[in-house]
Amino acid sequence: MNSKCIDCSRIIIFTGDFGSGKTMLALNYARYLASTGKHVGLIDADSSKACYRLRDILSVYPHIDNVTLLSPLGKVADTDIPSLSHVWAALQSNMFPYLVFDLPGEYKGAVLLKSIRTMLKDSYELLYVINICRPFGGNLEEIVAQIEKLQYYTEMRFTGLVANTNLGRQTTEDVIVKGFAAASEVSRVVGIPVKLIGVPKDIKVSIIDWNGQILEIFLLDEPYWVS
Amino acid sequence: MEQVLLKGSEAIAEGAVLAGCRFFFGYPITPQNEIPEYFARRLPQVNGTFLQAESEIAAINMVYGAGGTGARVMTSSSSPGMSLKQEGISYLSCAEVPCVIVSIMRGGPGLGAIQGAQPDYFQAVKGGGHGDYKNIVLAPSTVQEAADLTYQAFDLADKYRNPVIILGDGILAQMMEPIVLPNEKQDFPEKNWALNLDKNRPRNVISSSYPIVEELEKVIIRLNQKAEIMKGEVRWDTLQVEDADYIIVAYGTSARIAKAVVRQAREIGIKLGLLRPITLWPFPYDAIYSLVPQVKAFFALEMSTGQMIEDVKIAIGRERPVYHIGRYGGVIPRVNETLEKITAVAKG
């Protein structure tokens, strides 16, 4: 079993089902790491969802010191063509003490992971994000089946789970507590520890018997392009 | 009721499943791929059929077949793909086969760009395919509405034996909001016109081919009479129109921006109201016209160079000026730039 410390690893990869919150977790984890003074390479490897990728969000997000976005450049940046040369370049480089990955959801992320698996030479955290308010994420069997499917396909093992249950702006403490309980149940079945809880900013949560990391998520004004 | 966190495209797909849709035929295109992806996972759970066709043209014709048997059926696509489906949509409309067609608009013309835009209003509302026909067009503005309107679209399609179009854009399709889903539909209308294996009735024929022109004319007249009845389904929403000196007309994603514009305009003393068409066909002409006496000018905010604005102009004639505001190709109009244009008119 891995230790609970995520930032003991140089490479931190958020993966999981579509819409589980990987992009916002990656962005906010990078923000957290950067706040410790370390330079973070934040890798936008999502080619699928137009309008809400890291490259789109960061263009309207307040500037974050010590975080460098690594994403496709030029014409290809605005397309849905899976351009991955920036991912490979980042993995070959020693420029950044930390690399945080935002992968696309489900099978699209799995395909990408498989293609970079042998390049992950440094220690890494491969985190599976769980939001039980999402479709197909609501029951234990479905989540476990999904985790096992992705592990089987990528021939990799997740090192941690992220309890990221939320309803966007309408998240309550109750929603988060329920989501953590569900993630803990998944953890018992698959033998992978819960390592992180995502909590939207300004929500106070106290979870008994939990001494792991809670990550504050800064939500975008919704819709972000209105402001 | 329990809330779930859904993307607009997922809400459309789940709304369809809950309305009894058990058949989906489509071909992938960004930014609506989450619709077929959702159906691919969801339909097997309810003994439905998801099929990725070899093309958009094949998919719309599979809709023709499934709808002809009386099944609740859907297809979805985005701008260039919707262009390919138009011949089939014309056939479906003439043959009066109920179905729901989802058009998630992106930047055009041509291959354009994958970002959300609204340049296919004419395509959805004014025909798109060949011949005289009308389809009901519903324009959701929130993820909740995406689920609700799709759910209701199946009932409208059955009620009038007519295709119903859901017109959204890439922003609405990708956006996530918590929503409450409608209940699973239990009772479905009888379809005595459908093609099935019932040997105890006269033979049913579904066709859009009428080679004798007098017969075709009769069909067109009947379809046109049906269109007049369908006009009773007109729907719209308003925000702060009661005391408004100026009205912004906007649908779908643009209406979300318009809401923020109304709020900010009122902060600087401009009495702005919003009229949001929910049905684009039928268009709420009367609702807009009823505002003419109190209003100094109208604005049409749309992510196109001006398509819906033509219907706004039909509604009010030349009685008041109508100004177009918009950005194109996938660029999103910002609240401040929209407000600046309105302020320039309001302050003369």
Q: Taking a C-beta distance cutoff of 8 angstroms, is the pair A23, A51 a contact?
A: no
Chain-chain contact of A133 with B257 (C-beta, under 8 angstroms): no
Residue of chain B minimizing CA distance to A225: B334
**Exposure string over B63-89, b if 16+ CB within 10 A, otherwise e:** bbebbbebbbbbbbbbbbbbbbbbebb
Q: Which pLDDT belongs to residue B139?
A: 98
A107 touches chain B (CB under 8 A): no
Listed residues B184, B205, B232: the one ending a domain: B232
Q: Work out the minimum CA distance from A48 to partner chain B, whole angstroms.
A: 8
What is residue B210's DSSP assignment? -
- Per the CB < 8 A criterion, the answer to whether B142 and B177 are in contact is yes
Tell me which residue in A52, A79, A167 faces B5 most closely, judged by beta carbons. A167
Q: In chain A, which residues have their Cβ closer than 8 Å to the Cβ of B7?
A: 18-19
* Token output for A140: 């234990």
- What is the C-alpha to C-alpha distance for residues B58 and B275, in angstroms, rounded to an integer? 38
Q: Is residue A75 part of a domain?
A: yes
Same domain for B221 and B264: no
pLDDT tens-digit readout, B116-165: 999 999 999 999 999 999 999 999 999 999 999 999 999 999 999 999 99
Report the residue of B5, B118, B336 to disrupt the A interface, i.e. the one with the largest count of A CBs within 10 Å.
Answer: B5
* Span B235-284, pLDDT tens digits: 999 999 999 999 999 999 999 999 999 999 999 999 999 999 999 999 99
Residues B105, B157: Cα–Cα separation, whole Å: 21
Q: Do B272 and B215 share a domain, yes or no?
A: no
Contact B176 A168 (CB under 8 A): yes
- CATH code, B121: 3.40.50.970
The CATH number of residue A37's host domain is 3.40.50.300
pLDDT band at B318 (very low <50, low <70, confident <90, very high): very high
Q: How far apart are CA B77 and CA B128, in angstroms?
A: 14
pLDDT at A222: 54
Which of B59-68, B101-110, B196-205 shows the lowest mean pLDDT across its residues?
B196-205
Question: Which residues on B lie below 8 Å from A134 (Cβ)?
Answer: 4-6
Interface contact flag, A222 B170, Cβ < 8 Å = no
Asked, for residue A36, whether it belongs to a domain, the answer is: yes
Q: Is the peptide bond before B282 cis (omega within 30 degrees of 0)?
A: yes
Residue B74 confidence (pLDDT) above 70: yes
With an 8 Å Cβ cutoff, are B256 and A223 in contact? yes
Whether B50 and B192 map to the same domain: the answer is yes
Q: Which two tokens stand for residue B242?
A: 């009661």
Q: What average pLDDT values come out for chain A (227 residues) when binned by 10 residues? A: 74 93 95 94 86 84 90 87 89 93 88 91 92 91 95 94 94 96 97 96 88 87 54
> How many domains does the structure of chain A reveal?
1
**Residues B178, A79: C-beta atoms closer than 8 Å:** no
Confidence (pLDDT) at A3: 54
Taking the C-alpha atoms of residue A41 and residue B91, their distance in angstroms, rounded to an integer, is 53
Contacts of A13 (CB under 8 A, 6+ apart): A100, A101, A103, A113, A124, A125, A126, A127
Prior bond of B109 cis (ω within 30°): yes
Q: Is there a contact between A133 and B5 if contact means CB atoms under 8 Å apart?
A: yes
Q: Do A18 and B6 touch (CB under 8 A)?
A: no
Coil, strand or helix at B257: helix
Q: Is residue B162 within 8 Å of B231, Cβ to Cβ?
A: no
Same domain, B328 and B251: yes
φ, ψ for residue A61 (rounded to 5)? -95, 150
In a shared domain, residues B224 and B241: no
Whether B7 contacts chain A with CB within 8 A = yes
- Collapse the DSSP code of A71 into the 3-class scheme (helix H, G, I; strand E, B; otherwise coil) and give the result: coil
Q: In terms of Cα–Cα distance, which of A24, A223, A170 is closest to B2?
A: A170
Domain termination residue (choose one: B213, B232, B251): B232
User: What is the per-residue pLDDT for A191?
Assistant: 97
Nearest-by-CA chain A residue for B41: A136
Residues of A in contact with B38 (CB under 8 A): 135
- CB–CB contacts below 8 A, A to B: 81
Element (H, E) at A49: none
- Distance of residue A223 Cα from the nearest chain B Cα, in angstroms: 8
Domain of A157?
11-226
Are residues B263 and B134 part of one domain?
no
Rounded to the nearest integer, the mean pLDDT of chain B is 97
Give me the residues of B, 86-145, that contact A with CB < 8 A. 106, 113-116
B151 and B292 inside one domain: no
| Predicted pLDDT at B301 | 98
Nearest CA in chain B to A172: B3
Cβ-defined contact of B3 to A170 (cutoff 8 Å):
yes
By CA distance, what is B336's nearest residue in A? A227
Q: Is A51 on the interface with B (CB under 8 A)?
A: yes
- Long-range pairs of A114-119 with CB within 8 A, sequence gap ≥ 24: A114/A153, A114/A154, A114/A155, A115/A84, A116/A87, A116/A88, A116/A91, A117/A154, A117/A155, A117/A156, A119/A88, A119/A91, A119/A92
Q: Is residue A4 part of a domain?
A: no
Say yes or no: A62 contacts chain B, CB-CB below 8 A. no
B3 touches chain A (CB under 8 A): yes
pLDDT at A154: 93
Same domain, B167 and B212: yes
Q: What is the pLDDT of residue A166?
A: 95
B250 and B210 together in one domain: no
- Let me know whether B158 and B274 are in one domain: no
Quick one: B226 and B264 in the same domain? no
Last residue of a domain, one of B232, B252, B275: B232
Bridge partners of B107? Answer: B113
Nearest CB neighbour to B178, from listed A52, A170, A225 = A170
Maximum pairwise Cα distance, chain B: 72
| Contacts with B171 from chain A: Cβ below 8 Å | 51, 223, 225
Do the Cβ atoms of A226 and B178 come within 8 Å? no
The DSSP symbol for A226 reads G
The tally of domains found in chain B comes to 2
Q: Does A37 touch chain B (CB under 8 A)?
A: no
State which residues form the domain around B157.
Answer: 4-232
Q: By CA distance, what is B30's nearest residue in A?
A: A80
Tell me whether A10 touches chain B (CB under 8 Å).
no
Q: Residue B6: its chain A contacts at CB < 8 A?
A: 19, 134-135
User: Residue type at B161?
Assistant: R
Please give, rounded to a whole number of angstroms, the shortest distance from the CA of B114 to a CA of chain A: 6
How far apart CA A59 and CA A69 sit, in angstroms, is 10
> Is B78 in CB contact (< 8 Å) with chain A?
no
- Closest residue on chain B to A134 (Cα): B5
Strand partners, B25: B51
Number of Cα atoms under 13 Å in the Cβ half of residue B25: 21
CB contact under 8 A, B175 and A223: yes
Mean pLDDT (whole number) for B103-128: 96
B332 touches chain A (CB under 8 A): yes
Report whether A167 contacts A48 (CB < 8 A).
Answer: no
Judge whether B42 is closer than 8 Å to chain A, CB to CB. Answer: yes
Predicted pLDDT at A2? 44
B9, B123: one domain: yes
Per the domain annotation, does A2 fall within a domain? no
CB nearest to B6's CB, from A135, A223, A226: A135
Q: What token pair was written down for A2?
A: 């891995």
Q: Which residues of B touch A167 (CB under 8 A)?
A: 3, 5, 178
